[in-house]
């Protein structure tokens, strides 16, 4: 091979190696080059900083307790209503069916909680606490009227102005319990 062809080949190889080094260097030094932040998020050092109630690796979801395209709607807002008309079936030691009025009230201390007032036809003197996530409601095990021995737990879901809820009340002194399945309508 003559010197001229060898020089051209080495020169071409040097250019290719330089371009590869330059390309790989710029990729590794800019961690935000491949990070796509949504909803107004900004990237710094490969991590998105999300505005408002947005969260997630790409600012693509809402912080717990919020929903909507702008993540500014409290999930619990759809549940809150005074004077739901309740139609409920009861099984266990207090079998039958009943109708009454109940309310879902704002919890001032937690943005993802509500208070169920007059639940179980005012069985409890105090409101029952529930947690809201999307269209679902969770009633964690609790004793609303301590020091009495009645406990409650349950769950529900909301759709088109109707809250479907199931809960169980247990009296720990005698072991009696009953389960309620109800439809709460606006």
What are the extents of the domains in the chain?
Answer: 3-73, 75-185
CATH classification code of 75-185: 2.40.128
pLDDT band per the 50, 70, 90 thresholds, residue 124: very high
Phi, psi torsion values for 18, nearest 5 degrees: -65, -45
Is the distance from CB of 163 to CB of 137 less than 8 angstroms?
yes
Distance between CA 1 and CA 10 in Å, rounded?
Answer: 12
Least confident of 5-14, 53-62, 131-140: 5-14
Phi, psi (degrees; rounded to nearest 5) at 44: -140, 125
Rounded Cα distance, 112 and 74, in Å: 7
Write the pLDDT tens digit of every residue in 34-49: 889 999 999 999 999 9
Q: Is the pTM of this model over 0.95?
A: no
């Amino acid at each position: 091979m003559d010197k001229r062809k060898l020089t051209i080949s080495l020169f071409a190889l040097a250019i290719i190696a330089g371009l590869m080094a330059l390309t790989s260097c710029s990729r590794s030094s800019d961690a935000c080059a491949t990070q796509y932040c949504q909803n107004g998020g900004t990237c710094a050092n490969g991590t998105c900083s999300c505005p408002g109630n947005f969260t997630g690796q790409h600012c693509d979801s809402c912080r717990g307790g919020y929903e909507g395209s702008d993540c500014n709607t409290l999930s619990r807002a759809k549940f809150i209503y005074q004077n739901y008309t309740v139609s409920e079936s009861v099984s266990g030691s207090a079998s039958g069916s009943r109708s009454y009025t109940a309310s879902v009230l704002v919890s001032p201390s937690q943005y993802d909680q509500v208070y169920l007032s007059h639940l179980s036809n005012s069985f409890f003197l105090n409101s029952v606490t529930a947690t809201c996530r999307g269209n679902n409601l969770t009633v964690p095990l609790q004793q609303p009227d301590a020091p009495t021995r009645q406990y409650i737990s349950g769950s529900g879901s909301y759709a088109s102005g109707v809250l479907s809820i199931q809960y169980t009340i247990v009296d720990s002194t005698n072991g009696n319990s009953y389960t309620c399945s109800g439809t709460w309508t606006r």
